[in-house]
């Protein structure tokens, strides 16, 4: 008798590094002027999530420390980028202003790769294996550098031809652009027509759906975007996968 499909739940969220928020004068500064309070609220939101794997982008050192302390039941994998965000206007309020790419994982797992992209020291990829799947968290540059970065992600995701792979992250590009760059074999999960934007904004013609779940060798039973109540400039995307 054939084994029944397994369901694996995943999520991705760009939590917005405080220095980037201040440099770009994001609206979150008005809603959350105290960064320690915002960090506590982000941590509380993530404590309440049930997904087996959660990918986070733009995590500050302060936010990472809060997550490690609050999530003892999860493995916390973190890639610290060589580039430290530079404050342009005022004194940085963070104790540890480094920027991290993070994976929160429930259950047995092992880290496979952690690398910043060679053409951008502030973006990269973090890969683990868990429950027979390869999971790659990423944050991709929002310019022409993305072409080489997406090619590298495709390489990482095909390390094992037997293992289903999932890419989670902020791709800084619309679904069609990501699908074209990754090539055959990859499926960028299509969100419902009424899905909230993953990166809401009103001042640009750029896509508002730039955070994605991408699968290779896995199916998708559902996907959605949830509001984070203004804690970041991005909303949270999540999906249920079948393998």
Query: What tens digit of pLDDT does each residue of 83-120 get?
Result: 999 988 777 889 999 999 999 999 999 999 999 999 99
Res 202: pLDDT: 61
Res 92: pLDDT: 83
Structure confidence at residue 169 as a pLDDT band (50, 70, 90): very high
Cβ atoms of residues 215 and 165 within 8 Å: yes
- The percent helix, strand, coil of the chain (3-state, each to 5) is 20, 35, 45
The CATH architecture to which 9-235 belongs is 4-Layer Sandwich (3.60)
d(CA 23, CA 188): 31
Res 88: pLDDT: 85
Query: What tens digit of pLDDT does each residue of 128-148 get?
Result: 999 899 999 999 999 999 999
Average pLDDT of every residue of the chain: 94
**Is residue 202 exposed (0-12), middle (13-18) or buried (19+ Cβ within 10 Å)?**
exposed
pTM of the model: 0.96
Q: What are the domain boundaries of the chain?
A: 9-235
Which residue(s) pair with 16 in the sheet?
none
Cβ atoms of residues 123 and 149 within 8 Å: yes
Instruction: Report in angstroms the alpha-carbon separations of 209 from 188, 205, 220.
Output: 12, 12, 18
d(CA 145, CA 167): 18
Query: What tens digit of pLDDT does each residue of 10-66 get?
Result: 999 999 999 999 999 999 999 999 999 999 999 999 999 999 999 999 999 999 999
Query: What tens digit of pLDDT does each residue of 197-214 get?
Result: 999 986 666 789 999 999
Torsion of CA 175, 110, 66, 225, to 10 degrees: 20
In the block, tokens 């495709």 appear at 154
SS3 155: helix
């Amino acid at each position: 008798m054939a084994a029944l499909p397994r369901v694996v739940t995943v999520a991705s969220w760009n939590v917005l590094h405080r220095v980037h928020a201040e440099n770009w004068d994001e609206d979150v500064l008005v809603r959350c002027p105290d960064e320690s309070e915002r960090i506590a609220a982000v941590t509380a939101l993530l404590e309440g999530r049930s997904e087996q794997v959660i990918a986070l982008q733009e995590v500050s050192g302060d936010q990472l420390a809060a997550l490690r302390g609050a999530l003892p039941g999860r493995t916390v994998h973190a890639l610290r980028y060589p580039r430290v965000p530079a404050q342009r206007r005022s004194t940085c309020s963070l104790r540890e202003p480094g920027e991290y790419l993070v994976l929160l994982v429930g259950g047995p797992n092992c880290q496979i790769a952690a690398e910043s992209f060679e053409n951008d020291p502030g973006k990269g990829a973090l890969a683990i294996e868990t429950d027979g799947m390869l999971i790659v968290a990423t944050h991709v540059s929002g310019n022409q550098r993305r072409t080489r970065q997406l090619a590298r992600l495709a390489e990482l995701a095909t390390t094992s031809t037997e293992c289903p792979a999932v890419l989670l992250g902020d791709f800084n590009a619309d679904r069609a652009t990501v699908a074209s760059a990754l090539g055959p074999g990859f499926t960028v999960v299509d969100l419902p027509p009424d899905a909230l934007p993953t990166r809401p904004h009103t001042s640009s013609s750029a896509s508002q759906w730039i955070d994605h779940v991408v699968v290779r060798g896995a199916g998708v039973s559902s996907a959605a975007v949830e509001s984070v109540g203004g804690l970041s400039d991005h909303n949270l995307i999540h999906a249920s996968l079948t393998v």
